Amino acid sequence: QVQLVQFGAEVKKPGASMKVSCKASGYTFTGYYMHWVRQAPGQGLEWMGWINPNSGDTNYAHKFQGRVTMTRDTSITTAFMELSRLRSDDTAVYYCARIYCSSPSCYFDYWGQGTLVTVSS
């Protein structure tokens, strides 16, 4: 069965960087784009960008350009999202989500369980 596994929680200091991982299993990792979505405490969902695990191509939301880097390691079927120059308002749960597109629709069909990142001095 399809699974996206993310690990635990992290605490980071302002100005530091974070790197969240998303281990995929149960499907062909390179066959589906992976997206990242975050959710600040008590707030809604915010799209951050995607990575094509096959080519490594990425597309980032304008808000995060210059601070976010999405990568993947196909040998371990894992996607990574790195966010630099952290601020307190980056405190959020970070989710990976697989996008499924079957003409003509697209949607996020599987989500990781999320990684809580707290930015605090």
Partner 1 sequence: EIVLTQSPGTLSLSPGERATLSCRARQSVSSTYLAWYQQKPGLAPRLLIYGASNRATGIPDRFRGSGSGTDFTLTISRLEPEDFAVYYCQQFAELPLTFGGGTKVEI
List residues binding partner 1 (CB under 8 A). 35, 44-47, 59, 61-62, 95, 97, 99, 104-109, 111-114
Q: Which is nearer to partner 1, 16 or 45 (CB)?
A: 45
Q: How far is the CB of 15 from partner 1 (least distance, A)?
A: 26
Q: Which is nearer to partner 1, 43 or 74 (CB)?
A: 43
Q: Which is nearer to partner 1, 69 or 113 (CB)?
A: 113
d(CA 10, CA 107): 28
Q: Which is nearer to partner 1, 16 or 61 (CB)?
A: 61
Query: Which of 8, 93, 110 is CA-nearest to residue 48?
Result: 93
The tokens describing 108, both together, are 């996020």
d(CA 116, CA 75): 26
Question: Residue 15 class from Cβ within 10 Å (0-12 exposed, 13-18 middle, 19+ buried)?
Answer: exposed
Q: How far is the CB of 29 from partner 1 (least distance, A)?
A: 19
